[in-house]
Amino acid sequence: MYRILYIFFIFVKISYAQVYPITGKVFSEGYPLPGASVIISGTKIGTITNQSGYFIINVSKVKNPKIIISYIGHKSFSQKISYSRKNIGSIELKLDDQLNEVVISGTLKPVSKLNSPVPVEVYTKDFFKGNPAPSVFESMGIINGVRPQLNCNVCSTGDIHINGQEGSYTMVLIDGLPIVSGLSSVYGLSGIPQSLIEQVEIVKGPASTLYGSEAIGGLINLITKMPANASKFSFDSFTSGWGEINTDLGYKYKSKNKIQGILGINYFNYSNPIDNNNDGFTDLTLVDRISIFNKLDFKNKLSVATRYIYEDRWGGQMNWSSSFRGGKEVYGESIYTSRIEVFGKYDFNKNLFFQFSFNNHDQNSVYGSTIYNAKQSIGFGQLIWTKNLKINSFLFGLAYRYTYYDDDTTATFNEGSSSNMAEITNLPGFFIQDEIKINDLNTVLLGLRYDHNSIHGNIFTPRLNYKITNQDKSSTVRFSIGSGYRIAKVFTEDHAALTGARDVVFLNDLKPERSWNTNMNYVKKIYAKQGYILDFDASIFWTKFSNKIVPNYDINPNLIIYDNLNGRSITKGASINFNSLFNNGLRINIGATYIDSSIIEDGEEYTPYLTESFQGVWKIEKKFIKSKYKIDFTGNIIGKMRLPRLGSLDPRDEFSPVFSIINLQITKSLKNNYEFYGGVKNILNFTPAENSIARSFDPFDKKVLFDQNGNATQTIENPYALTFDPSYVYASNQGIRYFIGMRWSLD
């Protein structure tokens, strides 16, 4: 009996000796934080803080224990603990919600989103993991008011629309620099891997005051990863049921003299021709692409990044091969792209820095029998100086942009010679901005930019922003008014000018487009005691364009006629975003945008092509902390759009249907930073009508009868007087498909 009691006593003593109570108190903004999660990393040991922010957790004897404290909307706290220290004291969790993220796109200066007088939307890399895609272009489909638009059924060119405005009105920046523009705007967007991005900043409305031409409708600033924040090694690869393969590799390195670098390699391949709609053409463009990215940080003074991309893509009739390239036997659109980019920033001191970029884009392409070869080089430099004087925060900038462009179209035709003459554009400019902090709750931002285009002369773009915040900073109202401008490059920006059987006609020399925009934005933030955050964001917008360049498909079905609009174009609407974050791992993002866009010319009013009447998006994320599963439910719904047809006899619908693309993903996290994910894209299996390509059986119009004016005529074989036309496109032909993938990182 005594022996049994002795063994029991020893067992209790050993068991008790293996458990150590650790205590502490958690605060947020100086106040106790109840309901915060406290866990021991790598174990299932955990608790939550009480109403006073106090916690006690019994820790088993584990090797190198680490305590992790987290709470919704706050940065997590982690610290290794010692068994000799039972009380770790007071821990202050810092806020980490979207309103406090640092943004630079609105003012060219790092500032918290809450304090920015310009409304800037921010999306982190984790947001896009909910719907993995091989490129930034495809990732944009779940952002409210932002829509990736395909422009060709054959080679899948695309651009990004903001609030229903043409993709050429959206300026795409990389680290605040105009890398994606002109020639690269056609295929460049699909060549930017998602893995390159740390966060995406979006400004809706003209931003020409700071960024110059092309920022007439809005801008998307892609912030690349910093070497200091990157994993030592990372791997991410997924494949789809259609045979797509996307692989990303990342490696961080540093030298003895404190130079840090990050090397990223992206490879994407799709080489499985599919024709589910039985029109004889590939439903999805075949692509073989590699992108190599390297970024160096020299002691936080100089940052230099380089990227090289090579892509071979083609789409066309199912029996096309490279031996038919440029011929008239089998139709195919084949594009070889070679591109190099260099960009960076040098900080002289905290108030003076210099940004620079250079990119060279070489495109060798054929569209059926039409050959299009083009080269573009763009050099850019910008010196920024900031100065604070009492309530004024000044920003001065000097900028210069050099553009070299040459192709084999009429865009660079030299009337005095049998050969083309490259177009060279010099664009010096300067801008000034004054942010006036009237008090803690009221801020005014004034800006003015002057550019001198060597072809079009002097251009001024002003802007005014006003921000007012309530006393507890839970509500913010922003009012914006500004002007934008754009110099059009038809052959580099509008793929319809090159594909199909239509000829391009310019009635006059195209003048720069101008826009005036007003926007009012309201943000309401609610921190609930029950442990959740509600974020309500609403905007109304109005934009008027002058000298708008509108491609006319209606006058002659065989022509695309470009000219400045002799009238006015107005886009107006409203958007609303609702974001909520719950302490049980549920996050809901829902948004909707209503768009009313019209063109008024010669007393007639009509809707521009490919402008949706409304858009809705959602991203619902649920984390299961104990089992380490995560479910992402993402999607969008797109309203009807007016589509370009080949005249009144064209049997294809004048408007696209309302359609929705819905995706589901499940992610399982394991120890050692492994993640396995998979799911289904386009669950509803939506695809456009099977007759989207007009006369797909006769792509060279060999059986089309034309009259003396070059117009297609009705015949028994061609009752609708159609010609081959792949520009009638509003969504991808890629239907439902599964995908599976794996991520791994070494920190």
pLDDT digits (tens, 9 = 90+) for 343-364: 999 999 989 999 999 999 999 9
Query: Is 90 exceeded by the pLDDT of residue 9?
Result: no
Q: What pLDDT does 551 receive?
A: 67
Pick the more confident residue, 45 or 273.
273
Co-location of 205 and 300 in the same domain: no
Last residue of a domain, one of 206, 221, 236: 221
Q: Give residue 412's identity as a one-letter amino acid code.
A: T
Co-location of 146 and 33 in the same domain: no
Q: What pLDDT does 86 receive?
A: 77
Half-sphere exposure at residue 300, Cβ-oriented, CA atoms within 13 angstroms: 4
Q: What pLDDT does 489 receive?
A: 64
Rounded Cα gap, residues 578 and 383, in angstroms? 38
Strands 370-389 and 392-407 come out as antiparallel
Query: Is 60 exceeded by the pLDDT of residue 494?
Result: no
Which of 109-123, 553-567, 640-654 is the most confident on average? Answer: 640-654
Rg of the chain in Å (alpha carbons): 28
**Residue holding tokens 């940052």?**
303
- Report the 10 Å Cβ neighbour count for 690: 12
Query: Is 80 exceeded by the pLDDT of residue 488?
Result: no
In 3D space, the residue among 459, 445, 326, 336 whose CA is nearest the CA of residue 392 turns out to be 445
Co-location of 415 and 373 in the same domain: yes
Rounded Cα gap, residues 332 and 457, in angstroms? 41
Q: What pLDDT does 14 receive?
A: 44
Q: What pLDDT does 218 receive?
A: 85
Q: What pLDDT does 16 receive?
A: 45
Q: What pLDDT does 100 receive?
A: 56
Rounded Cα gap, residues 96 and 99, in angstroms? 8
Co-location of 401 and 322 in the same domain: yes
Q: What is the helix (H) or strand (E) element at residue 211, kind and residue range? A: helix 208-211
In 3D space, the residue among 37, 258, 166 whose CA is nearest the CA of residue 515 turns out to be 166
Contact partners, residue 287, CB within 8 Å, separation at least 6? 190, 268, 269, 270, 311, 312, 313
Co-location of 120 and 254 in the same domain: no
Q: What pLDDT does 444 receive?
A: 96
Pick the more confident residue, 144 or 93.
144
> For all residues of the chain together, what is the average pLDDT?
85
pLDDT tens digits along 252-280: 998 877 789 999 999 999 999 999 999 99
Co-location of 420 and 404 in the same domain: yes
Last residue of a domain, one of 65, 92, 119: 92
Determine, yes or no, domain membership for 619: yes
Mean pLDDT, residues 374-385 taken together: 93
Rounded Cα gap, residues 309 and 685, in angstroms? 32
- Report the 10 Å Cβ neighbour count for 512: 20
In 3D space, the residue among 152, 171, 187, 147 whose CA is nearest the CA of residue 497 turns out to be 152
Query: Is 80 exceeded by the pLDDT of residue 478?
Result: yes
Co-location of 148 and 183 in the same domain: yes
In 3D space, the residue among 616, 613, 606, 661 whose CA is nearest the CA of residue 639 turns out to be 613
Lowest mean pLDDT among 206-220, 295-309, 705-719: 206-220
Co-location of 256 and 203 in the same domain: no
Rounded Cα gap, residues 185 and 187, in angstroms? 6
Half-sphere exposure at residue 29, Cβ-oriented, CA atoms within 13 angstroms: 6
**Which residues does residue 638 pair with via DSSP β-bridges, in sequence order?**
615, 659
Determine, yes or no, domain membership for 729: no
Rounded Cα gap, residues 70 and 87, in angstroms? 18
- Here the CATH number for the domain that contains residue 69 is 2.60.40.10
Kindly list the distances between the CA atom of residue 701 and the CA atoms of 166, 367, 706, 724, in Å, as whole numbers in the listed order: 30, 14, 10, 6
Q: What pLDDT does 559 receive?
A: 65
Rounded Cα gap, residues 480 and 536, in angstroms? 19
pLDDT tens digits along 712-744: 899 999 999 999 988 899 999 999 999 999 999
Last residue of a domain, one of 190, 221, 252: 221
Query: Is 90 exceeded by the pLDDT of residue 580?
Result: no
Rounded Cα gap, residues 108 and 219, in angstroms? 13
Pick the more confident residue, 130 or 170.
130
Determine, yes or no, domain membership for 338: yes
**Which residues does residue 379 pair with via DSSP β-bridges, in sequence order?**
358, 402
Lowest mean pLDDT among 19-33, 157-171, 544-558: 544-558
Determine, yes or no, domain membership for 731: no
Contact partners, residue 334, CB within 8 Å, separation at least 6? 312, 313, 314, 316, 322, 325, 365, 366
- Here the CATH number for the domain that contains residue 337 is 2.40.170.20
Co-location of 409 and 294 in the same domain: yes
How many domains does the chain divide into?
3
Rounded Cα gap, residues 226 and 196, in angstroms? 10
Contact partners, residue 274, CB within 8 Å, separation at least 6? 242, 282, 283, 284
Determine, yes or no, domain membership for 282: yes
**Residue holding tokens 């008790």?**
16
Co-location of 121 and 237 in the same domain: no
Which of 86-100, 170-184, 521-535, 584-598 is the most confident on average? Answer: 584-598
In 3D space, the residue among 640, 642, 667, 671 whose CA is nearest the CA of residue 654 turns out to be 642
When pLDDT is cut at 50, 70 and 90, the band that residue 331 belongs to is: very high
- Here the CATH number for the domain that contains residue 115 is 2.170.130.10
Q: Give residue 307's identity as a one-letter amino acid code.
A: R
533 in Cβ contact with 72 (< 8 Å): yes
What domain range includes position 213? 98-221
When pLDDT is cut at 50, 70 and 90, the band that residue 37 belongs to is: confident
Query: Is 70 exceeded by the pLDDT of residue 203?
Result: yes
Q: What pLDDT does 387 receive?
A: 94
Determine, yes or no, domain membership for 551: yes
When pLDDT is cut at 50, 70 and 90, the band that residue 231 belongs to is: confident
Determine, yes or no, domain membership for 733: no
pLDDT tens digits along 657-701: 999 999 999 999 987 789 999 999 999 999 999 999 999 999 999
Lowest mean pLDDT among 46-55, 277-286, 681-690: 46-55
Pick the more confident residue, 19 or 225.
225
In 3D space, the residue among 200, 226, 214, 225 whose CA is nearest the CA of residue 105 turns out to be 200
Mean pLDDT, residues 644-656 taken together: 92
Rounded Cα gap, residues 747 and 744, in angstroms? 10
**Which residues does residue 88 pair with via DSSP β-bridges, in sequence order?**
none
Determine, yes or no, domain membership for 620: yes
Strands 19-28 and 87-92 come out as parallel
Percent of the chain with pLDDT over 90: 46
Co-location of 177 and 278 in the same domain: no
Q: What pLDDT does 531 receive?
A: 59
Co-location of 84 and 124 in the same domain: no
Mean pLDDT, residues 148-171 taken together: 86
